[in-house]
A and B are shown apart, each in its own frame.
Chain A
Amino acid sequence: MGFFESIGRYAELMFEVFSKPQRWRLLGRQVVKEIEKLGIDSLGITIIISFFIGTAITTQMVLNTENPLLPKYVTGLTTRETLLLEFSSTILCLILAGKVGSNIASEIGTMRITEQIDALKIMGVNAANYLILPKIIGFVVIVPVLVIFSMFVGLLGGYLVGFTSGIIQPSVYVMGIQYAFNPFYVTYSLVKSLFFAFIIASTASYYGYYAYGGALEVGKASTKAVVNSSIIILLFNVLLTNIMLV
């Protein structure tokens, strides 16, 4: 299928997804379920990865900024900027594209090949709206929360590695993470995460929804969902950075 044909089918799908829900009460219930399934269940991996990345960044910053001309607090400052500007939004969302993207694509793809989506259509249900809209809303709502958790836990990881190994004094680290703090960077990171959440949920849904054939096709759809949503995230990262920071 050609690039423009794919864009057209994606737009057509999104048009169906964002049509008026047939039952608002069901939508609300589905959104809560999706927040739990896609978001709360991703909290564990978010915390683990953010903590260890925070410790690794702090350690590397200490080792690479041993120049006497640089103040010690620069470690905390660079750890904070790395986490706020790139890791907690972009890299975390790339990781979530793998976890959540494959989950969504395989779930919807399996529903497609086992005729569950046809069953919805036969009943007169707008299957795209019923299945995909709650996932998009749920994920867009929960991802900024995950990003904030990631920022906090990453900075905490840096603090703890300094505290336990003694490579940097905790008070100096804390001074660094407070120094020249620009609150707009948090806004920038959260705005990016909203776009990325939409990209992950909608791209994965698209590939799952149009999966045809058998288990092999579902696997392929899942892979395509992860690869393509990752590429789109990286493109939008460049675009949004230029729009919001330059």
Chain B
Amino acid sequence: MIEVRNVTKSFNNVTVLHNISATFEAGKTNLIIGQSGSGKTVLMKSIIGIHRVDEGQILYNGRDFTSMNRKEVVDLRQEVGMLFQGSALFDSMTVEENVRFPLEMFSQKPQEQWKERVDFCLNRVGLSHAAKLFPSEISGGMQKRAAIARAIVLEPTYLFCDEPNSGLDPKTSLTIDQLIREITVENNITTIINTHDMNSVMEIGDKIIFIHKGHKSWEGSKESIFDADNEDLNALVFASKLFQNVKKYHNR
């Protein structure tokens, strides 16, 4: 479980996050949603520690990340997997080498077991056939799957996904969403996903936190989102005709 307590973050005297508190539970897909520029990526990067928060606490299963020393941070990060918006695979390595990299860097297990684990992860995301290819030689959807394989290779306790569906077609997006959800449940991972894709929200949103202009504006589940008494959230959810129709159907 990850707890965010009263987190505030500013850049050049502009406050991007205002006193945000939230709890992200294990074994569930926790979604942070909001319009572009609302501060959701800053919130995620603050939770992971790419940005240092100005005020507040971030607790990983009760351990305060904001007061950890360098070694404790390095140790904690081995429990963290991350799927970046642009996949962030290493260009100079093949898919297999990308997935093996965290093991080479941190695993205490014998090398013979690395291959077994890499093969398992590639197989889990359906990329065994692309192991020897470079990231530039595979599609965007395959890159995301390779990045998921790399993120889970060290069997993380926490998984972060920043816009996992950006640039993907609806069918591939669905595949990625389902894969993330399955991995979360199978391994009881605390998963936090940044998205503004309402299909994802409806598909895998166990818990949803809505960020608006740097404030936590709403919190709930995908079932309660249609009844939310929040104008800003409604403006986001019902921006598309499709969801307006879904709401009509829901209200009937």
A residues apposed to B, CB below 8 Å: 22-23, 26, 110-111, 114-116, 118-119, 121-125
Bound Cα distance from A65 to B29, whole angstroms = 82
Bound Cα distance from A111 to B105, whole angstroms = 18
Tell me whether B105 and A121 are in contact (CB under 8 A): no
Bound Cα distance from A124 to B89, whole angstroms = 16
Confirm or deny: B78 has a beta carbon within 8 angstroms of a beta carbon on chain A: yes
A115-B84, A123-B106 are known contacts; what are 4 more A-B pairs with Cβ within 8 Å?
A22-B106, A123-B77, A124-B74, A124-B75
Tell me whether A23 and B105 are in contact (CB under 8 A): yes
Of A26, A110, A115, the contact of B105 (CB 8 Å cutoff): A26
Contacts of B77 in A (CB 8 A): 121-124
Contacts of B75 in A (CB 8 A): 124
Interface flags, B28-56, vs A, CB<8A=1, else 0: 00000000000000000000101000000
Confirm or deny: B90 has a beta carbon within 8 angstroms of a beta carbon on chain A: yes
Contacts of A118 in B (CB 8 A): 50, 84, 88
Contacts of A115 in B (CB 8 A): 84-86, 88
Tell me whether B84 and A123 are in contact (CB under 8 A): no
Bound Cα distance from A121 to B70, whole angstroms = 12
Confirm or deny: B203 has a beta carbon within 8 angstroms of a beta carbon on chain A: no
Bound Cα distance from A26 to B76, whole angstroms = 22
Report A205 CB to chain B, min CB distance, Å. 16
Confirm or deny: B112 has a beta carbon within 8 angstroms of a beta carbon on chain A: no
Bound Cα distance from A26 to B90, whole angstroms = 15
CB-CB nearest 8 A-B residue pairs: A124-B77, A119-B88, A115-B88, A124-B74, A122-B82, A115-B84, A116-B88, A124-B78
Q: Give chain A's interface secondary structure class.
A: helix
Confirm or deny: B80 has a beta carbon within 8 angstroms of a beta carbon on chain A: yes
Report A37 CB to chain B, min CB distance, Å. 10
Contacts of A123 in B (CB 8 A): 77-78, 80, 101-102, 105-106
The residue of chain A having its C-beta at the shortest distance from the C-beta of B80 within the complex is A122
Contacts of A121 in B (CB 8 A): 50, 77
Contacts of A26 in B (CB 8 A): 104-105
Interface positions, chain B 58-83, Cβ under 8 Å from A, are: 73-78, 80, 82
Report A203 CB to chain B, min CB distance, Å. 22
Bound Cα distance from A22 to B102, whole angstroms = 12
Bound Cα distance from A119 to B102, whole angstroms = 11
Report B239 CB to chain A, min CB distance, Å. 27
Tell me whether A23 and B48 are in contact (CB under 8 A): no
The residue of chain B having its C-beta at the shortest distance from the C-beta of A124 within the complex is B77
The residue of chain B having its C-beta at the shortest distance from the C-beta of A115 within the complex is B88
Bound Cα distance from A125 to B48, whole angstroms = 14
Contacts of A125 in B (CB 8 A): 105
Interface positions, chain B 102-135, Cβ under 8 Å from A, are: 102, 104-106
Report B152 CB to chain A, min CB distance, Å. 12
Contacts of B102 in A (CB 8 A): 123
Confirm or deny: B91 has a beta carbon within 8 angstroms of a beta carbon on chain A: yes
Bound Cα distance from A127 to B86, whole angstroms = 18
Contacts of B74 in A (CB 8 A): 124
Report A124 CB to chain B, min CB distance, Å. 3
Bound Cα distance from A123 to B73, whole angstroms = 10
Bound Cα distance from A145 to B85, whole angstroms = 43
Tell me whether B88 and A114 are in contact (CB under 8 A): yes
Q: Can you list 23 contacts pairing A with B, beta carbon distance less than 8 Å?
A: A22-B106, A23-B104, A26-B104, A110-B91, A111-B90, A111-B91, A114-B91, A115-B84, A115-B86, A116-B88, A116-B89, A116-B90, A118-B50, A119-B90, A122-B80, A123-B77, A123-B78, A123-B101, A124-B73, A124-B74, A124-B76, A124-B80, A124-B106
The residue of chain A having its C-beta at the shortest distance from the C-beta of B90 within the complex is A116
Contacts of B82 in A (CB 8 A): 119, 122
Bound Cα distance from A151 to B240, whole angstroms = 70
Of B73, B78, B86, the contact of A114 (CB 8 Å cutoff): B86
The residue of chain B having its C-beta at the shortest distance from the C-beta of A113 within the complex is B86
Bound Cα distance from A26 to B101, whole angstroms = 10
Report B167 CB to chain A, min CB distance, Å. 13
Contact flag A122-B50 (CB < 8 Å), given A114-B86, A116-B88, A116-B91 = yes
Bound Cα distance from A121 to B104, whole angstroms = 15
Report A17 CB to chain B, min CB distance, Å. 15
The residue of chain B having its C-beta at the shortest distance from the C-beta of A130 within the complex is B105
Report A18 CB to chain B, min CB distance, Å. 15
Bound Cα distance from A119 to B82, whole angstroms = 7
Contacts of A119 in B (CB 8 A): 82, 84, 88, 90
Tell me whether B48 and A122 are in contact (CB under 8 A): yes
Interface positions, chain B 3-43, Cβ under 8 Å from A, are: none
